[in-house]
Amino acid sequence: MNIDLEQTLLRLFHSRVQQNATRGAVYVARDGEFCEVTWGELSRDVFRTAHVLQRLGVEPGDRVMQVSENRYEWIVADFAIQFARAVHVPAHAPLTGPQIAYQIRDSGAKLVLLSNVEQARKLASCADRIPSDVRFLSYDPVEETIGGVAVAALAHEWSKESGEYDDRFIELALSQVTADSLATILYTSGTTGEPKGVMLSQRNLTSNTLATLQAFGERETDVRLNFLPLSHIFARTCDLNTWVARGSRLVLAQSRESVLADCAKMKPTLLNGVPYFYDKLRRYLCEQGTDQTPGSLRELLGGNIRLCCSGGAALPDHVFDFFWRQEVPLLQGYGLSESSPVITVSNEQFARRSASGRVIPGVDLKIADDGEVVTRGPHVMTGYWKQPDATACVIKNGWLHTGDLGRIDDDGFLFITGRKKEILVTAGGKNIAPVQLEALLTESPLIAQALVVGDGKNYLTALIVPDPDILRKRIAEAEFSVTSAAEALEHRTVLEWYTSEIAEQMQEVAPYEQVRKFTLLDRGFTIESGEMTPKLSLRRATIVANFQTASTPCTAATKDLSKIYSV
């Protein structure tokens, strides 16, 4: 496939509709059953929504924010905003009202698309932080107002449309939206600091989509199940845009909790996920006692799974090994929002343990003198929205400085070894990459999540989230009684188990990398608590603050960090 650097997402979409109007495009659950929507039906909804946006005052270049969970309307709105020649600003659905309000103000959004009454209520609670001229449109009916402004219903606005759209409307968008046009502003979820708006052009998105397809090798017959948030660039490019460019079929999972049930119904061949999700699958099969049964993983994912792809965070070796032993290739890639996002990918022929794949076509990649991964090419963002100084800090002489540390082997495979900002420096001056140690810790069945800390200290400590099911089972087998989770986490035998597990997992690392002390927590790190990003990366500073502050709304056992146990 040739990579046309003058291509746009609008032309890709229009071409796909012209070629495959009557073919099934996307499958959406309605009343628990998946219904097929053809490319022609999808385009009808896209064009009438674009007309609605224009009728509501959206003009070329205006920013339109979307605050919604994954659903059919999310996809419709994405392309409708572009056909209206506006700029799509998707916000992550779990954000709080004040966080969304900040992005509305910062982006200068003129219209906000909301999924439901829950999102509307979040904004109503902080309406004084939202400019008074912002208008609102909701997919589900919303009766309440936001700062006295009524929320229009998309279905009602659709009813005003004739359903007939002449070629002039389409041709105007196709001709006036160029490869240089700003397509989207994505606010980084960020593990630290205030979010910044990443500006991505049509060229950024289309070149990255086409290069990823060329390197990866998706087939037209593939059925891709999407459950990662479309508001994040990983799913936006690697689920949504690749689906349009290749003309395969897309299944929208009903929720994060329904993924396995949706797999059983729709039998996907491709699945994008993050390491945490894949490790949960491994743990589930281990709990069921079928982790050694050939084909158990494939059956769990519907029976037709061809490939799984991992991104968003480092993939632990033990998870990679498990999937390949089960003959379900798990392929790791690497990228970031600022690079649209893909920089490297693996495929069936070229995959290597611990590696993030090889660079995609048309992209330059090298390791700087200080070990930082830097990249150059049509995938690099045009900059941060209204932040030229921040842009200049990361794009230097055309090279995007990723903030990640890595190496490239003789075969061109990229290995990420850490993140510059996350490197711990002990009191003894040793540099330590905590992600690698956390991957080792979570290899233990007893440990669901782990955060290693120790910057400026004489030794490393860890916050440990036990796997509740495994721990409960172990306590039952040991035949001792506890009356609460707090009591279990303080029980001498339980502490001895975790002391032993941590020592076992740390036996092959250097003495200065050993976790010397740990704390057992009675709840996990979550998106809702702000401790994980939407792509399930850990927000280290937030986690440390939450579990050190007495006012944190956790149980007494969790708040009491004086109960630290030596290994």
Instruction: Tell whether the model's pLDDT for residue 142 goes beyond 90.
Output: yes
Q: Supply the pLDDT for residue 1.
A: 52
Total-model pTM: 0.84
Determine what percent of the chain is predicted with pLDDT higher than 90.
78
DSSP per position, 155-166? HHHHHT--S---
pLDDT of residue 193: 55
DSSP of 68-121: --S-HHHHHHHHHHHHTT-EEEEE-TT--HHHHHHHHHHHT-SEEEESSHHHHH
The mean pLDDT value for 31-51 works out to 96
**Residue 429 pLDDT class (50, 70, 90 cuts):** confident
Per-residue pLDDT, averaged over 129-134, amounts to 97
Read off the pLDDT of residues 293-317 as tens digits, 9 standing for 90 and up.
999 999 999 999 999 999 988 898 9
Judged against a pLDDT cut of 90, whether residue 165 lies above it is answered with no
214 pLDDT above the threshold of 60: yes
In this prediction, residue 259 has a pLDDT band, given cuts at 50, 70 and 90, of very high
Mean pLDDT of 524-540: 83
Q: How large a percentage of the chain has pLDDT more than 70?
A: 95
Delineate the domains of the chain, giving CATH numbers in brackets.
Answer: 9-206 (3.40.50.12780), 218-420 (3.40.50.12780), 423-566 (3.30.300.30)
**Nearest one of 245, 247, 339 to 11, comparing CA atoms:** 245
- Residue 418 CA to residue 196 CA, distance in Å, equals 22
Looking up tokens 């927000």 gives 539
User: What are the two backbone dihedrals, phi and then psi, of residue 408, each rounded to the nearest 5 degrees?
Assistant: -120, 125
Count how many residues are written for the chain. Answer: 567
Question: Mean pLDDT over all residues of the chain?
Answer: 91
What is the model's pLDDT at position 24? Answer: 97
- Judged against a pLDDT cut of 80, whether residue 558 lies above it is answered with no
**Residue 173, both tokens:** 């968008």
Query: Mind listing the pLDDT tens digit for each residue in 400-410?
Result: 999 999 999 99
410-439 core/surface letters (b: 16 or more CB in 10 A; e: else)? eeebbbbbbbeebebebeeeeebbbbbbbb
CA 256 to chain centre: 12
Using CB atoms within 10 Å of the CB of residue 544, give its burial: 0 to 12 exposed, 13 to 18 middle, 19+ buried. middle
Q: Please report which confidence band the pLDDT of residue 126 belongs to, taking 50, 70 and 90 as the band edges.
A: very high
pLDDT digits over 237-255, tens only? 999 999 999 999 999 999 9
End-to-end CA distance of the chain, in Å? 55
pLDDT band, residue 536 (cuts 50/70/90): confident
Residue scoring higher pLDDT (414 or 469)? 414
What's the rounded Cα separation, in Å, for the pair 50 and 79?
A: 8
Mean pLDDT across 476-494 = 90
Report whether pLDDT(118) > 80: yes
Give per-residue pLDDT as tens, 171-206.
Answer: 999 999 999 999 999 998 644 457 899 999 999 999
Rounded to whole angstroms, the Cα distance separating 130 from 274 reads 34
Rounded average pLDDT over 70-84: 98
Which ranges of 289-340 does DSSP label H, i.e. alpha helix?
A: 296-300, 317-325
Residues ≥6 apart with Cβ < 8 Å to 140: 115, 116, 117, 153
Of 551, 521, 183, nearest in space to 385 by CA: 183
| Buried b or exposed e, range 149-182, using 16+ CB within 10 angstroms | bebbbbeebeeeeeeebeeeebeebbeebebebb
